[in-house]
Chains A and B, each alone.
Chain A
Amino acid sequence: MNETAPQVTSLLTNRDLDRLGRLRLNVSRRFTNRARGEHLAAKGGASTEFCDYRDYTPGDDVRFVDWNIFARIQRPYLKQFHHEEDLHVALLVDASRSMLFEGKLALAQKLAAAIGVLGLRGGEKVSACALGEADRLAPSRGRSAQGKLFSFLERISGGGAAPVERGIESFLRQHQGRGVAVVISDFLTDGDLRRAFSLLHNAGLEIFAVQILGPSELDPDLAGDLRFVDCETTGHLDISAAGDLLALYHEYRLAHEARLTALCQQRSGKFLPVSSATPFEHVLFDLMRRKGWIV
């Protein structure tokens, strides 16, 4: 792509878009969606791309028997092909007020845009939803939908008060189709994430969870007696000798991170914690590739 060409979107540079063209989402879960799509899922499909052989069993469609092999060894074998699935990539961006801290929402928008571009360029159906806001992007397909996706993501202003688990439930009430749910949030909620993740899993969505925390959340520098005010609920919490509690805070933050990881892995999902201070390119082209999110 020409570097001097105008930017397609403020979320991604043209160079990033160019690099994304050589990548695709790596979805590991086998879907049972009958609708055929362009996404090669697992063997046993009806595509033209050969995958494997298996023994013939009575009742199998004899059209798939490899007669050349039968003529050679007098035993019937069936040819198997990759299944081309219609993958639904759902982008769930947490738009609550907590995401407004320290560039968390901006990073979430960029990651959502990048993953959305991967989905659209892979021929998948892509939908987007700002958790906590009423606005959502209806499932779209094809490169032509990139503009709508960018426009939608750029419009997310944040400032919602709904917690992430409620936003997920709200999203699922209108969602149809199986595929991948990319949830980008800080996951700092008192609510039940287990239920929200289970609902995603049961809806046939593989969970790609990205937790974005700001530097002050990852390594807070506090001391003395403080009154913490929750930016979403405006509830407050009085803390004395906060400096002495930092070690415990880190302990609980890591435990929370481990719990999220476990929640995702138990549901065949993936989890990636990142800092909002980490450059977007590093997250996308380094961390996500290392983790096998994209290939």
Chain B
Amino acid sequence: MIPAFSSLASAWLFALLVPLIAFYFLKLKRPRVEIPSLALWRQVLSDQRVNAPFQRFKRNLLLFLQVLILILLVLAAMQPFLRREASRAQRFPVLVDLSASMAARDREGGSTRLDEAKKRVRELIDGLLPEQEMCLVAFGKSARRLTPFTNNQRDLRAALDGLATEDVASDLEEALQLAQALGRTAIFEKVLLFSDGNFPAKTTFELPFQIDFQKIAPGGSNYGIVALNARRAPGGQWQVFVQLAASEGAESTTGVIELAQQGTAIARQSVTLTGGATPRLVFELAGGPSATIEARLQLTGFDSLGADNSAWLTLPEARRLNVFVPESLAGYRHALSSIEQLNVFPQEGAVEPTSFDLVITDREADLARRARVRCSIGLVPADLSALVSIQQQNAQAIDWRRDSPLLQHVNLRDVVLMDQPTRRGEATDEPFATLGYEVLAQGERGPLLLERRRGETLEVAVLFHTDRSTLPYRVGFPIFVSNLVQAAWQQTGLAEARAIATGVLPPLAATPERSFKLEGPNLPTREARSDAEGQLTGLPVPRAGEYTLKGDDGSNRLIGVSLLSPPETGLAAVDRIEFNDQLSVTAATTVGKSDRSLWWLLAFIGFVALLVEWWWFHRPTISHA
């Protein structure tokens, strides 16, 4: 291999040889030794053997050493390097996986996958040549650029050192899309990917560049919680489901799964975990006010990842569903009377709550009531009045969405309607979709049943009046009412609860137009503002743990966020990434060779030569006076 030089301009420094040699002969310092006569020594010096080339070399060894040192330093300044495989890439982005599995350790007290990746990237940075540029990109659930294309090794090292894993699953496509976006401003041909391969083996991304997949060996045995949810059981109790998982090939181990509320254990079960197993545990908890419980997995053996050993679940308050149905809709009230855990308003002597969970009405005024689910009967919502009108004609349903939760097990065939919803314009559903409506049932001339989600509210519009149809006399009617109630349970979250996974918080109900601060584990405080509809959205939660949401109105809410990712807990790793264009990339088993910079080697040899020269200059010369 012939070295190349990246800074040939420094070759002019060789001109320093001239003054060096000149000064050497002008300023050579020799110890003076007075002797009786020079006669014999003159004869010695005139001897042919003394003037042999090797003897001349020895006599001028000091000069040769100084010349050697200067040559080495100048060569080092010229920045020589050995061209190797990776040297062809003048500019390349480096994608570093920060997903939860990168925090896995290979053994007790061992290094994390991210540490291994950092080590490899640091070698790349150290071998970076002046004309090469690197761009560091970190990705987990999302990707972000850490540095622009640069060869500033200090900046690159600082960015690399600042990397920390996030308790999220990795999304390779996000990283590739960012790399693709980078390619619009800077041309490059190759992307280096450092990951443990814990992502889907197939991606739809169309690869516009080469990928050098540097796979980090996966961590050791891992066990963790991959799912945590709860369902309301009859009697107001909660059934809490905890699903565990162990990585493939993990050694068998035992442990305890414990549920705790405010730090106090309220339930526990022993568990035995083996490689690839996914046991599901069920806990029975009494209902009550809203509470956050923490599930903790405590194992006796080595566990490579700690982030998935805890999960949090917020159980909502155990209460009955508040339903408003005017007295005029006797059929609905009758159907609701057979359903448990309901408070149907209005009722005599009962105080109406300020908000309802479900409102079923055929009166315009009742639609102004606050409710999670509003179902209008025989009314055309104001925003739809321009699109549809009701004509007093017999009609029938010709099609309906049988897979919709509202129409599940509801058969509208042969139901005779006295109202005929009729489209005013073109015969498509597009204008309704534009307004956010989804058509669930179609009549002969227009939609019969629509639903729209607005924030946390579900709006159901039955454009025909059920009392002027045969629907109340069909089996499907109480089922439809029951579906409405189930939708209300779902919408209010009173029937079941799911643990919040890391990534981005789901929309949270909050006081409209207020400021909030989210404080999380080892994360900077993030500020957010709720919208006019009382929704707080887009709050990132990259780490598992307990977060506190503080509002400027004094509210304080505890939110538990958990990893809950079977792929991350399973430490699944792919060796091959398949792209949709039949292209696949295989993980490299060896570290890619980067250009090897030689300046430090030359500088080191120069330093050694300097020490030799120093020793030669100061060595004992005479032992007698």
Verify that A and B bind, or say they do not: yes
* Chain A residues engaging chain B, CB cutoff 8 angstroms: 97-99, 101, 104, 186, 188-190, 214, 216-217, 220-233, 235-242, 244-245, 248-249, 252-253, 256
Residues from chain A with Cβ under 8 Å of B2 in the complex = none
Residues from chain A with Cβ under 8 Å of B621 in the complex = 222-226, 242
Is B108 engaged at the interface, CB distance under 8 Å to the other chain? no
Inter-chain contact B40/A253, CB cutoff 8 Å: yes
27 contacts between A and B (CB under 8 A): A99-B36, A101-B35, A101-B36, A188-B39, A189-B39, A221-B623, A225-B59, A225-B62, A226-B30, A226-B31, A226-B621, A228-B33, A229-B35, A230-B38, A231-B35, A231-B36, A235-B38, A236-B32, A239-B41, A239-B45, A240-B59, A240-B60, A240-B61, A248-B44, A248-B49, A249-B40, A256-B39
Is B111 engaged at the interface, CB distance under 8 Å to the other chain? no
Partner of B33 from the list A99, A188, A229, A233 (CB cut-off 8 Å) is: A229
Inter-chain contact A249/B44, CB cutoff 8 Å: yes
Is B624 engaged at the interface, CB distance under 8 Å to the other chain? yes
Q: How many residues of B contact A (CB 8 A)?
A: 32
What is the 8 Å Cβ interface bit string for chain B, positions 45-62, against chain A (1 contact, 0 not)? 101011000010011111
Is B262 engaged at the interface, CB distance under 8 Å to the other chain? no
CB of B39, distance to nearest CB on chain A (Å): 5
Partner of B50 from the list A97, A99, A233, A248 (CB cut-off 8 Å) is: A248
B58 to chain A: closest residue by CB: A241
Is B524 engaged at the interface, CB distance under 8 Å to the other chain? no
Inter-chain contact A228/B620, CB cutoff 8 Å: no
Inter-chain contact B35/A230, CB cutoff 8 Å: yes
A213 to chain B: closest residue by CB: B36
Is B583 engaged at the interface, CB distance under 8 Å to the other chain? no
Inter-chain contact A245/B50, CB cutoff 8 Å: yes
CB of B67, distance to nearest CB on chain A (Å): 16
CB of B33, distance to nearest CB on chain A (Å): 5
Inter-chain contact A98/B58, CB cutoff 8 Å: no
Residues from chain A with Cβ under 8 Å of B55 in the complex = 241, 244
Residues from chain A with Cβ under 8 Å of B28 in the complex = 225, 238
Complex alpha-carbon distance, A189 and B42, angstroms: 11
Partner of B32 from the list A190, A229, A245 (CB cut-off 8 Å) is: A229
CB of B610, distance to nearest CB on chain A (Å): 18
* Chain B residues engaging chain A, CB cutoff 8 angstroms: 28, 30-45, 47, 49-50, 55, 58-62, 619-624
Using A221-B623, A231-B36 as known contacts, say yes or no to A241 and B59 having CB atoms under 8 A apart. yes
Complex alpha-carbon distance, A189 and B40, angstroms: 9
CB of B615, distance to nearest CB on chain A (Å): 11
Using A245-B44, A249-B44 as known contacts, say yes or no to A226 and B37 having CB atoms under 8 A apart. no
Complex alpha-carbon distance, A233 and B36, angstroms: 10
Residues from chain B with Cβ under 8 Å of A228 in the complex = 33-35, 38, 41
Partner of A240 from the list B47, B58, B624 (CB cut-off 8 Å) is: B58
Complex alpha-carbon distance, A248 and B43, angstroms: 9
CB of A199, distance to nearest CB on chain B (Å): 20
Query: Helix, strand, loop or mixed for chain A's interface?
Result: mixed
Inter-chain contact B38/A244, CB cutoff 8 Å: no
Inter-chain contact B43/A224, CB cutoff 8 Å: no
Using A189-B39, A235-B38 as known contacts, say yes or no to A227 and B33 having CB atoms under 8 A apart. yes
Using A222-B33, A223-B621, A244-B58 as known contacts, say yes or no to A237 and B49 having CB atoms under 8 A apart. no
Inter-chain contact B38/A237, CB cutoff 8 Å: yes
Complex alpha-carbon distance, A101 and B624, angstroms: 13
Inter-chain contact A189/B33, CB cutoff 8 Å: no
Complex alpha-carbon distance, A146 and B58, angstroms: 56
CB of A106, distance to nearest CB on chain B (Å): 15
Complex alpha-carbon distance, A253 and B39, angstroms: 10
Residues from chain A with Cβ under 8 Å of B42 in the complex = 190, 237
Using A224-B621, A224-B622 as known contacts, say yes or no to A238 and B30 having CB atoms under 8 A apart. yes
B59 to chain A: closest residue by CB: A240
Residues from chain A with Cβ under 8 Å of B36 in the complex = 97-99, 101, 104, 186, 188, 214, 217, 230-232
Inter-chain contact B30/A227, CB cutoff 8 Å: yes
Q: Which 9 A-B pairs have the closest CB atoms?
A: A240-B59, A98-B36, A188-B37, A224-B621, A227-B30, A230-B38, A241-B58, A221-B623, A248-B44
Residues from chain B with Cβ under 8 Å of A235 in the complex = 38
- Name 5 extra pairs, CB < 8 A, besides A214-B36, A223-B619, A223-B621: A186-B36, A188-B40, A222-B622, A239-B30, A248-B47
Residues from chain B with Cβ under 8 Å of A190 in the complex = 37-39, 42
Among B32, B61, B622, chain A packs the most CB atoms within 10 A around the CB of B622
Residues from chain A with Cβ under 8 Å of B47 in the complex = 248, 252
CB of B505, distance to nearest CB on chain A (Å): 79
Residues from chain A with Cβ under 8 Å of B39 in the complex = 188-190, 256
Inter-chain contact A252/B33, CB cutoff 8 Å: no
Residues from chain B with Cβ under 8 Å of A249 in the complex = 40-41, 44
Using A240-B59, A244-B58 as known contacts, say yes or no to A256 and B622 having CB atoms under 8 A apart. no
Partner of A227 from the list B31, B60, B61 (CB cut-off 8 Å) is: B31
Complex alpha-carbon distance, A245 and B43, angstroms: 11
Complex alpha-carbon distance, A249 and B44, angstroms: 6
CB of B53, distance to nearest CB on chain A (Å): 14
Residues from chain B with Cβ under 8 Å of A232 in the complex = 36-37
Complex alpha-carbon distance, A235 and B41, angstroms: 12
Complex alpha-carbon distance, A237 and B42, angstroms: 8
Residues from chain A with Cβ under 8 Å of B30 in the complex = 225-227, 238-239
Complex alpha-carbon distance, A101 and B34, angstroms: 10
Complex alpha-carbon distance, A222 and B622, angstroms: 5
Residues from chain A with Cβ under 8 Å of B59 in the complex = 225, 240-241
Complex alpha-carbon distance, A68 and B47, angstroms: 70
Using A223-B622, A224-B619, A224-B620 as known contacts, say yes or no to A189 and B37 having CB atoms under 8 A apart. yes
Among B43, B55, B619, chain A packs the most CB atoms within 10 A around the CB of B43
CB of A211, distance to nearest CB on chain B (Å): 12
Residues from chain B with Cβ under 8 Å of A222 in the complex = 33, 621-622
Residues from chain A with Cβ under 8 Å of B45 in the complex = 237, 239, 245
Among A98, A225, A235, A248, chain B packs the most CB atoms within 10 A around the CB of A225
Complex alpha-carbon distance, A239 and B620, angstroms: 15
Complex alpha-carbon distance, A153 and B45, angstroms: 37
CB of B43, distance to nearest CB on chain A (Å): 5
